[in-house]
Amino acid sequence: MPGKSTRLTFAVLVTGAGVFSMLQSLIAPALPTVQHALHTSQSTATWVMTAYLLSASVFTPILGRVGDLVGKKRTLVAVLLAVLVGCLLGALAPSIGVLIVARVVQGVGGALFPLSFGIIRDEFAPAEVPGSIGNLSAVIAAGGGVGMVAAGPIVSALDYRWLFWIPVAVVAATALIALRCIPESRNRAEGGVSWLGAGLLSAWLVALLLPVSQAGTWGWTSPRVTGLLAAAVVLFVLWVYAEAHSATPLIDLRVMRLPAVWTTNTAALLFGAGMYAIWTFLPGFVQTPSRAGYGFGASVTAAGLLMLPMLVAMFLSGVLSGRLQPVLGAKTLLTAGAGLGALACGFLALWHDQQWQVALVAGVFGFGIGLAFASMANLIVGSVPADQTGAATGMNANIRTIGGSLGTSVTSLLVTGHLQPSGLPYASGYTHGFALLALLCLAAASAALLVPVGRAGHRSAAVLAVEAEPEPVGPRR
C-alpha cells in the first residue's frame, strides 16, 4: 500500500486510470441506443468503438514515451484534459460523426496507464511499488467490468449522454488535483521524440487493427482487409528498421528484446485475446433468447449483473496480488492468472445451461484477470530501465489490445460464421469459440512459464547490459 506521503498521488492515479478503463466498455452495451438516437446504421455505430481502439493504440506508447522525456506529471495532466474534452464532446455530440471524433479524443487517455505506472515507480518507495501497481491494476481491470455493469442502469434511468456527462466532473477534478499535488518526475529519458518512429508505429498499428476490427463487415478476403494487412507487415518492418537505426528511438528495441519483457508481452498478447473476447461475447451469449436452444434472454442490465462476479473478483485478486507477489513472485501469479482464464473458458465450453454456471465462470475468469494484469505490469516495470518505464508499459498495454482485437475477430468468425434461420448463432459457434479461448489462455500460461525468475523492482543484469550498450549506429534523426 502507498505510504501517507503518496496516498493522494495514488488516489489521483487510480481515479484517472479507472475512469478511462470504464470508458472502454461503458458505451458498448449502449450502441443500439446510440444508433437509434443519432439515426445511423449499425455498421457506422460500430465506429464509436473502432475509433476509440485505434486512437488508444496509437497514443498509449507514444505518450508513454513523451512522459519519459518531458515529465510524467505534465503529460498526465495533458492527457486528463484531453479525456475531459472528449467526454464533453461526446455528451454534446449532435451527430454520429462528432461522437466518433469525441471517441478519438478520449482514446488519448490510453496513455494514463503507462504514465501512472511510471509515476509509481518514480515517486513511491521500492517496497511500495509492487503492491501499488497491483492495486492500480486491480482498478484498471475492474473499470472495464464497472462499465459493463453500469451502462444499462445509466441509460435506462437517464440517457446515453450521461455515459459521458458523469465522467466529466470526475476527470475535471482529477486533472486539477493532479496539477496541484503530484510531484514532477525526477527520472527523465535523454533525447527527443522520434517522429519518424511515431509515424511508422501509428501507421502499422492502424493498418493492422483496422482490418482486424472491421473484417466481419468487410470480409476477411476483401481487398481492403488483405491490402491493409499486407501494408501492416511492410510498415512494421520499416518501423523496426527505423527504430534500430535511430539515435533516439521511440521504442528502444533493446528493451523489447529483454527476456522478461518479450515473454511477458507474448503472454499479454495471448491472454488479451481471451480476455477481450470473453468481455465481448459472454454478454451476448446470455442475452440470446432461449428459443435459440441456449442463452437466457437477459436484458442489458441483467447481463451486466451476471458479469458482476467478474468485476468483484478482478478487483479482489488485483489487490491480493500485491500482497502475494513478494511471496510467490509475479511470474507465478501471471501463470496462475492465465491458467484460471483457461479453466474458466474450458468450463464454459462444456457447461453453460444455467445462469449460476455463467456467473461462476465470470468470477473465475475475473480472478485470473486481476492476477494477470497486476503481474504483467510488475514484470515490465521491474525489468526495464527507469527512463523506459512509460514506453515499455505502453507497448505491453498495446500488445494486449492487439491480442484482444485478434481474439475477438477470430471468435466472431466461429460464432457468426454459421447462423440459424432466425439469424441467431448456433450453440456450437459459442462452444467452439469458448474452447478456442481456453486454448489461447493456456498458451498464455505456457508463455508465462518462460519468464525469467527475478525480483520485480530490481534491475537485472540484462537491464544493466541495455543501459551500458552503445547507442545504435546509424544516421541521427
Are 207 and 314 found together in one domain? Answer: no
Are 108 and 232 found together in one domain? Answer: no
Are 310 and 217 found together in one domain? Answer: no
Last residue of a domain, one of 245, 272, 305: 245
Query: Which one-letter DSSP state was computed for residue 125?
Result: -
Query: Does the residue 477 lie in any domain?
Result: no
- pLDDT at residue 5, as a whole number: 64
- pLDDT at residue 436, as a whole number: 94
Domain that includes residue 301, residue range: 4-194+246-468
Are 80 and 213 found together in one domain? Answer: no
Query: Does the residue 473 lie in any domain?
Result: no
Are 200 and 295 found together in one domain? Answer: no
For residue 370 the three cell numbers come to 486481476
Query: Does the residue 305 lie in any domain?
Result: yes
- pLDDT at residue 454, as a whole number: 57
For residue 390 the three cell numbers come to 512509460
Size of the chain in residues: 477
Q: How many separate domains does the chain show?
A: 2
Last residue of a domain, one of 245, 278, 308: 245
Last residue of a domain, one of 209, 226, 245: 245
Tens digit of each residue's pLDDT, the chain (477 residues):
565 568 888 889 988 888 888 887 788 777 778 888 898 876 788 788 878 888 888 888 888 888 888 888 999 999 999 999 999 999 999 999 999 999 999 989 988 988 998 898 888 888 888 888 888 887 887 777 787 778 878 888 888 899 999 999 899 999 999 988 888 777 776 666 778 888 998 899 889 888 887 877 788 889 999 999 999 999 999 999 998 888 778 788 888 889 999 999 999 999 999 888 888 788 888 888 988 888 898 887 787 788 889 888 988 888 888 788 888 889 999 999 999 999 999 999 999 899 999 999 999 999 999 899 889 988 998 888 877 887 788 888 888 888 888 888 888 888 877 888 888 888 999 999 999 999 999 999 999 999 997 544 344 444 444 444 444 444 444
Q: Give the residue from 142, 119, 150 showing the smallest Cα distance to 20.
A: 142
Are 234 and 326 found together in one domain? Answer: no
For residue 374 the three cell numbers come to 497486476
Which residues contact residue 317 at a Cβ distance below 8 angstroms, ignoring those fewer than 6 apart?
Answer: 138, 337, 366, 367, 368, 369, 370, 371, 374
The residue type at 158: L
Rg of the chain on CA atoms, in Å:
21
CA–CA distance, 336 with 125 (Å, rounded to integer): 27
Are 132 and 202 found together in one domain? Answer: no
Query: Does the residue 474 lie in any domain?
Result: no
CA distances to 51, 417, 449 from 210, rounded to whole Å, are 9, 20, 32
pTM: 0.81
Are 131 and 224 found together in one domain? Answer: no
CA distances to 10, 76, 118, 448 from 123, rounded to whole Å, are 10, 14, 9, 29
Here the CATH number for the domain that contains residue 271 is: 1.20.1250.20
Query: Does the residue 113 lie in any domain?
Result: yes
Query: Does the residue 475 lie in any domain?
Result: no
CA angle 174, 179, 181 (to 5 degrees): 90
CA–CA distance, 141 with 25 (Å, rounded to integer): 11
Are 78 and 220 found together in one domain? Answer: no
- pLDDT at residue 393, as a whole number: 84
Residue 375 CB neighbours (<10 A): 35
Are 349 and 459 found together in one domain? Answer: yes
Are 425 and 316 found together in one domain? Answer: yes
Are 237 and 333 found together in one domain? Answer: no
Beta bridge partners of 425: 419
Q: Give the residue from 311, 16, 35, 319 showing the smallest Cα distance to 174.
A: 16
Query: Does the residue 289 lie in any domain?
Result: yes
- pLDDT at residue 464, as a whole number: 42
Q: What is the largest CA-CA distance in the chain?
A: 66
Residue 328 CB neighbours (<10 A): 15
